Structure 1
């Protein structure tokens, strides 16, 4: 069983999760389409602040963003596995069903309502639930263009033992179902069907070989208590060794901004109060999954698993469905150019 102790490494430790570099001033705040930052989302922040805010002492200059005003439904409590059984199935509540798993029949969208027909999306569920059983394999160094890093990591977990790798698979499967209904062809880097990995270089290669129109890596962070909110990681310009992101920097930024804006609107969660200067956007050049990509690609850290308030959202099946919806709408907006 995957225990909390075994998933202790946090998201910013390992191949694609080193401590962020000092962030240069970004060209603009969260410039997702103005429609994405709808008044309703802003009102949600204000309502949240009125009833207590984030409760952390820092980030007072983060535009007072706070975090989600969404409360998990009572029937989601069974979807928060204990440390002794972090791989327990989701609750039987309707919102906790995982669309798109091998046991769930695929449903074709009605004719004429498939705007993404012909588009390919690659989804990369971060980490792997059984990486902890394969330390030698995941600690092997791989070339990411700028330097070498470990193949993969175990990921983080909530304090109660709900693993990041389980979270990423659940959100990814929900996202796949939504995109397939729009007519997209969706490919996974892993679907819980391999014992470990894949390594970060292979994750990038899967998107490249698929000639994906868009690729996204799903994660949750493992930062300090009081650090809350989501952020989307964009590739910086890298031209070294096997890495050359120059052609994908601009389209990836467009993809990331649309994902961030729609994620905010769908979930009510605010952009991170600890990274990204309140924009919800971070540019990095040290991630193999981005450096080696030749197709537009971003990462999303959906929240901080180590903070109890964010963890209450991340372990809610209803909230994960909202998260998948927001990510889906960002991808659809990007692929349709609208």
Structure 2
């Protein structure tokens, strides 16, 4: 994995229902008296908060003094505030891929009544730092925090997705809840036709102790590396709207399964 690649393109697939990463953005909306009674499944899921964390940001490369600043990363470590991310060999950036996929995931979750909070508002800014991304999920009281990334390995033949979670756990949420979230996302991506990584982790899962967003989370959290942007086949898929929708469909389905 490139150090800049982990902690796209095109316009967002839809306008999110909640984008401000502040505590004010997570209060549940008032129910409309004219709304039809939800089904039992919708009642279970509706009004839950899910934090979606699109990796990196479009302005990071122009602001090295900001993103290189050390911040707490958990387990007594520090890490750079953020990184630039990776890109395909043709120049399609990870930050654009993650932004686009995350918007597509958010649109599908919002349609189910889920309150979606994003860790960044657009793909033109800087950061936020990795510790602040974790803090957004904590302040939101998120039922699930899902970080979306793509990898940038130059190893010959390296391809496939993996889902990371904090290990060993530092709190109860990082134990079975996060493991279950990671496993459910893994299963959904695999059911969506995506191959598990053949070069990182095992069976599509990667327990990690070095990722700040996972180490500092007090909510169930997982980080998805959707694939290797340096692999020609996966790069081609990530670079199309249809491919990004496939990723989004699988991720959203995994979140919904986990919440239910």
Return the TM-score normalized by structure 1: 0.66
The counterpart of 1:313, out of the listed 237, 242, 252, is: 237
Matches of 2:69 and 2:160, distance apart in 1:
32
Give how far 1:12 is off.
Answer: 3.5
CA contact (8 A) 1:127 1:155 kept: yes
- Structure 1 residues 182 and 101: CA distance shift in structure 2, 3 A: closer
Q: How many Å apart are 1:269 and its aligned residue?
A: 1.5
After superposing on structure 2, the runs of 4+ consecutive aligned residues of structure 1 that deviate more than 2 Å are 14-17, 108-115, 244-248
Cα distance change of structure 1 residues 101 and 120 upon mapping to structure 2, 3 Å threshold: closer
Residue 117 of structure 1: aligned partner: 46
5+ residue gaps, structure 2, are 18-31
Determine if contact 1:231/1:276 at 8 Å carries over to the other structure: yes
Residue 332 in structure 1 maps to residue 247 in structure 2: no
RMSD: 2.2
Q: Deviations over 1:299-319 (max 9, x none)?
A: 000010011111011112112
Partner of residue 248, structure 1: 174
Is the contact between residue 164 and residue 182 of structure 2 (CA under 8 Å) also seen in structure 1?
A: yes
SS at match of 2:74: coil
- Tell me: CA distance 1:148–1:289, structure 2 relative to 1, closer, same or farther (3 Å): same
> Deviation at 1:248?
2.2
For the residues of structure 2 that align with 1:245 and 1:218, how far apart are their CA atoms? 22
Query: Unpaired runs of 5+ in structure 1?
Result: 1-10, 18-85, 91-96, 103-107, 239-243
Matched, 1:234 2:170: no
Partner of 1:333, secondary structure, is helix
Q: 1:16 to 1:226 in 2, by over 3 A?
A: closer
Cα gap change, 1:308 to 1:316, in 2 (>3 Å):
same
User: Aligned partners of 1:250 and 1:195: how far apart in 2?
Assistant: 34
User: Which of these residues, 171, 183, 208, is aligned with residue 284 of structure 1?
Assistant: 208
Alpha-carbon shift at residue 245 of structure 1 (Å): 3.3
Tell me by how many angstroms 1:112 deviates: 2.3
Aligned to 1:8: none
The 1-side partners of 2:194 and 2:126 are apart by 31
Give the aligned partner of residue 32 of structure 1.
none
> 2-side partners of 1:274 and 1:290: how far apart?
21
Cα deviation 1:244-280 (Å, max 9, x = unaligned):
33442210110111111111112x1110011123x10
Return the offset for 1:119.
0.5
The one-character-per-residue Cα deviations of 1:66-98 (angstroms, maximum 9, x if unpaired) are xxxxxxxxxxxxxxxxxxxx96x45xxxxxx71
After superposing the two structures, state which structure 1 stretch, 255-264 or 114-123, moved more: 114-123
Measured in 2, the distance between the counterparts of 1:271 and 1:125 equals 20
Q: In structure 2, what is the Cα distance between the partners aligned to 1:298 and 1:222? A: 19
Q: Does structure 2 retain, via aligned residues, the 8 Å contact 1:234–1:284?
A: yes
Equivalent of 2:137, from 196, 207, 220?
Answer: 207
